[in-house]
Amino acid sequence: MIVAVGLDIVELARIKKIWQRYPKRFLSRHFTLEEISSCCEKADPLPSIAARFAAKEAFQKCWPEPHGWQDVWVVRKGTKPKLAFTETIQRALDQRGLAVHVSLTHSRNHAAAVVILEETQGG
């Protein structure tokens, strides 16, 4: 059963402006080293950076407690993105019997993410 849905959309121009103004600070504050490395391998890292930013925002919209930017991050499992969490958040998810699903997308001007919290059979 779906427990919560979070959606976030960001303008690429807004993320680019912040990133250009504070390049190291923006990346190190909002993303893990793994995320930075993965995104910066691409010819144009901006859409990937923006989609990850949106994923973190989307998760916060459906998670009941506040968390830091690096407490949630996007990893790739094959071709699909997946959210990973600090031990504290992962433990809370497990205790509540929740699975997390994420979908990322981007266009020429925007990036977006949807996060779904689903109650598993054990929860």
From 16, 17, 42, 61, active-site residue:
61
Active-site residue, 56 included: no
Strand, coil or helix: 79: coil
Query: Is the dihedral angle over the CA atoms 24, 29, 30, 33 positive or is it negative?
Result: positive
From 30, 56, 106, 110, active-site residue:
106
Q: 32: which 2 tokens? A: 């893990």
Active-site residue, 77 included: no
Residues with catalytic roles: 61, 106
